[in-house]
Structure 1
């Protein structure tokens, strides 16, 4: 029998998608002069894009090699803009997806002359303004009136990509020459899901912060007078949902839900949960060494939305009002403010794990300070209208007492500040962090005192924390004293204690709570003197406050040693006897606290310029990762 003319061809190990072959043709080094026909581009924008392979191919090219292929990259850029303008499916979506990956990869390379080299790759130096203006105008039109919400979201993501990738060149200025704010707000208004709102709200933060300390940023001015309540509520709801998602990632590493000390929970806590009766917990607590790298990778990239929220809060009172008052849309979910406070407590306990985490912790502090400085908002935060239950972080000791039942928002904020002070003590102290925490406490206490509002709170924890901080500073004076702005932090600390001492009767719930503050001061007497001398407070701005604290401590110390007749008391007084002495001591006590202890300066963005520039860079990096993840 004659052999068959049909021979079996061996099957390739893998099939290469056609679009990958087109990418290789487009960016092949020896194809610079290759004429890319209409047929090539027609086929290019019909195939589903393959972002991973496009990024891989571009990644192999050095900046100089990509510059040599600028005739092809310019054609890609121009052809993609044209397809987006035409608004025909599926080529417009293919073009947007391709642009997102291409721009993110190409613009992130380290060029010798970043601005001019990037312009050469995209448009050529002669046509740069016309091409880039056309590109921004095209994105603006699609974001506002694209043929579908999906296409509009892709346009937002492309804008986010180019803004993030080229943030430190002059390229994003094209987005300040043409105001995208109305289109972004229209896009957010039309969104139905938080996942759709997130990239638009995220993008706004980058646009507002682009060179905002160097020139009058038009997006920053837009925030001041924006009054569309519906859009603000959508952004606030998105912010709350995002905070909840980021917070849950911490809980997934270590479930810290407080529970009763049963045998099972105790065994779980010390790592012997396998011996506990009943079923094993669904989320076992990992060993600390296992948890460290997991915690270090947090918070998730979506946390960049804190920057947009901060900018709105700093500029727009209506936004702040909605953030404080808006309730949850879904039963069982926390309100946006509650979700934000919950996330902040987790950020505080893990702020030390990375510089990135520290920067986002600062953003949370800025937002909180802005809220508690507003007298209308702080009144609301202290009222029963703000009552609720908020999950605070309990992943590291020392733990705050578990409080059952609802509390007003300021009680949770004070708890978060206590946690922040307790969990960030180290010799290389983050002084600015402590200044902000102490300042927020003072603003809340000064309002409570002036308004004579008494809130349910474990005040003894606050006094214990502040006086423990005094002990820490006294123990590590040599390490701390040389740090910048430490004198301001010390002044804040002693003024806060002196203010509580001289005004506690205006806001503490009962005499016992006030007595407790005096008792704790007596216990700290020797340390207060050591603290004063260590930081040279005699004759300094904080001398009046520290002298007040020491005088009160000395007054009671002498009363506890001998009675009014000069007879020595027992060294082993019961708590009730100590309390009785403290009450008797009020009659002979003179508290000469300085005036203006409750004065504070309003938040000024310019004071934190360097922090905000570093934060913007962190948000840029997170925006790039966010685009890749999605």
Structure 2
């Protein structure tokens, strides 16, 4: 019997998805200048994308090789635009997903001449304007009127990818030539899930920051007069949800609720009492080194939405008002302001772990400074009607006193500043950070004094922190004085203490709180003198001399209270308190004018750090756009 001419091929060890073979044919073809067939593209846009496979193939191609085979990459962009414009499923979705991965992988390559080389790869230098303009117009149309929210979201992710990956080239200028703002706002308005809002809100921040110090950015101008409350509130809800998730990532590394608290009381403390079960599963506690590496990776890439929030806060009072007053859409979630302040607390305690974390901490401080500089907004932050519960970070000592229940937001912000001062002390001091913290404190105390608002707060913690900071600066004077802003730092610190001393009766809730400030100044008498001498504050600082005069006045009274034989450390707290009260009669405080003088936030003054922040937000957007 003749053998059959049919033979059975051996089964391969692994099956390669067809789309991978198409990727290889597209990007590793022998004839780079050949026009791929219509059949190839029909098949290409029928297969679901393999993001990891496409990333791997693109990652293996050198920038020069990418330029060499630019004809195929140009065909991909051209064919993808056609599929998106045709709006036929699933080809349009596949085209957008493929473009997102392709753009991210291609635009992040280290080309010799980034702007011109990238344009060559995508469109060719001669056709660049026509192709890129058509591409942006296509994305704009889908974002505004795409057949589904999912498709519109994919278009936003593609736009986010090209904006982030090409941020430092000329590519994003195509998105400034065509105004995507109305389409983005319509998309946000149509969203029902706040998670879907995040990419659009994030993208808006990147577009508003593109070369904004070099030319009049149209997106930045759009933020000024935008007054649609419903859209603004959706963005703020999205921001609040993102803050909550980012904060929870810190808690997942190290649970920091006070010992002895039940889960029920804990959930009640943060406004989630309705969720309290009988018990919760325990999670393993990571080893110290593991926890350290986990903390270094935080916050997650979603934190870049803080840049968008900052831009809105800096430009738009309607946004600020909603940020302060908006309640959560779900009664089990904390209000957005509470979630934001809670995340800021964790950022402050971990700001030292990376430059990236420190930059986002600056950004949060900018937001807080802008809010407390507006007297109407600060009035609301001090109003009982806006009381909130905020979970503050307790992952590092020293701890602030626990306050259960709701408080006015201004008191929480003071806690944040105290925590920030306590947890970022090091010889190479981040002077910029401390100037910002002290500035926020000065603005709040100044307002409380003028409005004569006596708010409930553990004031002794503030005085202890400020005077401990004086001791720290005195100890490391040589390291601190090398910073060009050290004079500004010491000036604002001394003015803040002197202002509290001369105006404390206007905002402190009771005489005992005022007495405590005097008592702590007396305790720090020797340190104050050393501080004055170390930083050369003898002649130019009347505030410094006021502090020393008050301390010396009470030292003399306390030393003479037992005929010169008993010093203050041997007196009981009640006896010291009595001496302080008696000393008021013979005390003269030079209530110098202008101790609470401050200048309003000007973005141009922080241009350098804001550019650095934009760069890290762009890097985070690259991660976010392909997740």
TM over 0.5: yes
Instruction: Give, in whole Å, the separation in 2 of the partners of 1:71 and 1:405.
Output: 64
Deviations 1:83-118 (CA, angstroms, capped at 9, x unpaired)? 111111011001101110111111111111111111
- Once residues 545 and 194 of structure 1 are traced to their aligned partners in structure 2, the CA distance between those partners, rounded to angstroms, is 50
In the aligned structure 2, how far is the partner of 1:43 from the partner of 1:352?
51
Greater RCO, CA 8 A, separation 6+: 2
> Shift of the alpha carbon at 1:332?
2.1
Q: For 2:280 and 2:179, how far apart are their aligned partners in 1?
A: 56
SS at match of 1:240: helix
Contact 1:473 1:480 in 2 (8 A): yes
Give distance in 1, aligned partners of 2:33 and 2:334. Answer: 60
TM-score normalised to structure 1 length:
0.95
Q: Which residue of 1 aligns with 2:577?
A: 579
> Does residue 526 of the first structure (1) align with residue 526 of the second (2)?
yes
Q: What's 1:239 paired with?
A: 239
Once the 2 structures are TM-superposed, how far is the Cα of residue 569 of structure 1 from its aligned partner?
A: 4.2
User: Which residue, out of 604, 614, 623, partners 1:625?
Assistant: 623
SS state at 2:380 partner: helix
CA contact (8 A) 1:255 1:283 kept: no
Shift of 1:34: 3.1
The residue that corresponds to 1:501 in the other structure is 501
Is the Cα–Cα contact under 8 Å of residues 25 and 31 in structure 1 kept in the other structure? Answer: no
- Aligned-partner SS, 2:94: helix
Which residue of 1 is the match for residue 420 of structure 2? 420
Tell me by how many angstroms 1:594 deviates: 1.7
Q: 2:98 and 2:281 mapped to 1: Cα distance?
A: 45
Contact 2:161 2:626 in 1 (8 A): no
Q: Distance in 1 between matches of 2:369 and 2:169?
A: 32
Is the partner of 1:390 in helix, strand or coil?
coil
Quote how far apart the aligned CAs of 1:284 are. Answer: 4.4
Who is 2:596 aligned against? 598
Matches within 5 A, 1:204-603: 204-260=204-260, 282-540=282-540, 543-563=541-561, 568-569=565-566, 572-603=570-601
Contact 1:67/1:120, CA 8 A, preserved across alignment: yes
8 Å CA contact retained: 2:100, 2:626: no
Asked if the contact 2:498–2:547 (Cα under 8 Å) also holds between the matched residues in 1, the reply is: yes
In structure 2, the CA distance between the partners of 1:34 and 1:259, relative to structure 1 (3 Å rule), is: same
CA distance in 2, matches of 1:567, 1:2: 126
CA contact (8 A) 1:387 1:409 kept: yes
CA distance in 2, matches of 1:622, 1:544: 47
Contact 1:431 1:484 in 2 (8 A): no
1:522–1:284: structure 2 CA closer, same or farther, 3 Å change rule? farther
Q: Answer yes or no: is the 8 Å Cα contact 1:143–1:156 preserved in 2.
A: yes
Deviation at 1:57, TM superposition (A): 1.0
Which whole-Å CA distance do the structure 1 matches of 2:320 and 2:330 have between them? 21
Poorly superposed stretches of 4+, deviation over 4 Å:
1-8, 565-571
C-alpha separation in 1, matches of 2:283 and 2:386: 32
Alpha-carbon distance change, 282 to 610 in structure 1, aligned in 2, over 3 angstroms:
same
Matches within 5 A, 1:9-88: 9-88=9-88
| Matches of 1:354 and 1:518, distance apart in 2 | 38
Report deviation, 1:54: 1.1
Look up the SS of the partner of 1:350 in the other structure.
helix
Could you list the per-position Cα deviations for residues 504-536 of structure 1 after superposition, in whole angstroms to 9, with x for gaps in the alignment?
000001000000000000000000000000000
Tell me the distance in 1 between the aligned counterparts of 2:523 and 2:285. Answer: 37
Separation (CA, whole Å) in 2 of partners of 1:16 and 1:615 = 42
Is residue 254–residue 284 contact of structure 1 (8 Å, CA) maintained in 2?
A: no
CA distance in 2, matches of 1:65, 1:6: 42
Q: SS at 2:589's partner residue?
A: coil
Deviation at 1:55, TM superposition (A): 1.2
Task: Decide whether aligned partners of structure 1 residues 297 and 567 sit closer, same or farther in structure 2, where only a CA change above 3 A counts.
Answer: closer
My pick for the range that moved more, 396-405 or 574-583, is 396-405
C-alpha RMSD of matched pairs (Å): 1.6
Shift in Å, 1:7: 4.9
Report deviation, 1:33.
3.1
Q: Is the 8 A contact 2:386 2:408 kept in 1?
A: yes
Structure 1 contact 254–283 (Cα < 8 Å) conserved: no
TM-score normalised to structure 2 length = 0.95
Give the drift of 1:503. 0.3
The residue that corresponds to 1:185 in the other structure is 185
Name the SS of the counterpart of 1:171 in structure 2. Answer: coil
| Match in the other structure for 2:268 | none
In 1, the alpha carbon distance for the partners of 2:280 and 2:221 equals: 55
Question: 3-state DSSP class of the match of 2:212?
Answer: coil
Task: Report how far residue 11 of structure 1 moved.
Answer: 1.6
Report the equivalent of 1:176. Answer: 176
Distance across 1 between alignment mates of 2:29 and 2:445: 67
Deviations 1:516-572 (A, max 9, x none): 0000000000000000000001222xx111100000000000000014x96544651
Does residue 616 (structure 1) correspond to residue 614 (structure 2)? The answer is yes
Q: Is the 8 A contact 1:522 1:554 kept in 2?
A: yes
